[in-house]
Amino acid sequence: MSALNETHDPGLRSWVESANDGRTDFPIQNLPLAIFRRKGSSEAWRGGVAIGDQVVDVAAAVQAGFFGGDALAAAQAAAEPTLNHLMSMGPKAASSLRKALSQALQAGSSRQAALQPCLVPQAEAEYSLPCRIGDYTDFYTSVHHATNIGKQFRPDNPLLPNYKWVPIGYHGRSSSIGVSGQAFHRPRGQVKPPDADAPSLKPSARLDIELEMGVLIGQPNALGAPIGIDDAESHVFGLVLFNDWSARDIQPWEYQPLGPFLSKNFASTVSPWVVTMEALAPFRVPFTRPADDPQPLPYLASSAHSAAGGLDIELEALIETPRMRAAGSPPARFTHTNYRHAYWSAAQMVAHHTVNGCNLQPGDLLGTGTLSGPTLDQACALIELTTGGKNPIALPNGETRTWLEDGDTIILRGWCERPGAARIGFGECRGTVLAARDA
């Protein structure tokens, strides 16, 4: 696990004034990475680092000869069209780049004049996926989500007996993962209501969100070489926000016996900024189980993991309907939760994924699954919030939603804050539902 160092000092201030207001997601203590270029341009995609409302153009800084020493190789990798190369270099390389930028961006730095020409306003930037995602595995790490869903289908036995023993997951589709701003057409699939004699092909009428975190793999492991629980986070480059859109009326007909398929693979959306595990170090929390729950098997447990394997990350989902947009009304929040409620940690996901010898690669994405909290107002999918569609949620402008309608935009946000640490955030993960294509 990443340790606290001088880059986390809450007293640090930047010569980029927008980084110092206490509200930005991107103070000098964060320094997340993304792949960007100027909007509407034919410029090459390249790596950038967020500071306040600006982006440090890493490629421009490399070309200007800004970096040296241990940070140079990391900066050269970060200047590429994807972050995969930097990810593969492991946490020390990313840490050296972070330290060099932290020192250069601090108020009073003698390097301000050299770095300032390499800044691009975020308002002028557009983003690509932060990395080439080779494989995508979606987990099911919220016991509250699993229980809420189970109650709707198995009232007498909502939680299956393996849930508290093994991190459940399935392999998803990486080709349909898009970056924030993604707009996708309502999916079609086979739907069979319980009272129907046969299924029919139609657009999904029960389109849903899943508020998740995405765990991006950094340095790989060799085929046949499991990753131990205490080494797992050295293979995690960072976290993003993740919306795993779901078609709830397609899902129940198709998922038995092999799991989700067309109900999940039509679109998933990630936030552009990757917050490194080092940046998250001040927000560690213990990761323990209730005493009467089964305790994890030894390969999924350690004293260090129990002491600080959790992360305190506030999460929220907001909706902007077409009517809100037309009226100029702000998006409305409809759920608020925290990553600390997860039943399985990022480290446990990595350890379990590789215990059979599976080789993870730089840029692989592990979804946490829907991160619902212990109370209904912390549920992170409409299927939970509306109790399977029975109780629509009310929006401030008088509209209601049971499932997503065409034109709806969902916005995910995440941030960390606690006394004695600078607030940091993840930016936004935004996606919009379009009408189904004509058959």
| Residue 57 shares a structural domain with residue 153 | no
**Do 256 and 168 fall within a single domain?**
yes
pLDDT in tens, 253-278: 999 899 999 999 999 999 999 999 99
Residues 78 and 225 both lie in one domain: no
pLDDT tens for 223-251 read: 999 999 999 999 999 999 999 999 999 99
Whether 334 maps to a domain, the answer reads yes
Q: Is the same domain home to 91 and 165?
A: no
The answer on 149 and 111 residing in a single domain is: no
8 Å CB contact between 272 and 427: yes
> Looking at the structure, do residues 86 and 144 belong to the same domain, yes or no?
no
- What is the domain-level CATH number for residue 260? 3.90.850.10
User: What pLDDT is recorded for position 438?
Assistant: 86
pLDDT tens-digit series, residues 77-91: 999 999 999 999 999
User: Which residue among 126, 158, 188 closes a domain?
Assistant: 126
One domain, residues 429 and 315? yes
Residues 33 and 88 placed together within one structural domain of the fold: yes
Residues 155 and 45 in one domain: no
Active-site residue (options: 145, 235, 341, 352): 145
> Are 121 and 153 contained in the same domain?
no
- Please tell me whether residues 142 and 111 are part of one structural domain: no
Structural domain tally of the chain?
2
Query: Of 69, 96, 126, which residue is a domain's last?
Result: 126
Residue 1 lies in a domain: no
Choose the final residue of a domain: 126, 151, 179: 126
Active site residue 145: yes
Round the average pLDDT of the chain to a whole number and report it.
97
Within-domain flag for 131: no
Judgement on whether residues 87 and 211 belong to the same structural domain of the protein: no
What are the pLDDT digits (tens) for 23-73?
Answer: 999 999 999 999 999 999 999 999 999 999 999 999 999 999 999 999 999
- In this predicted structure, the answer to whether residue 439 has a pLDDT above a threshold of 80 is no
Residue numbers of the domain that contains 333: 136-434
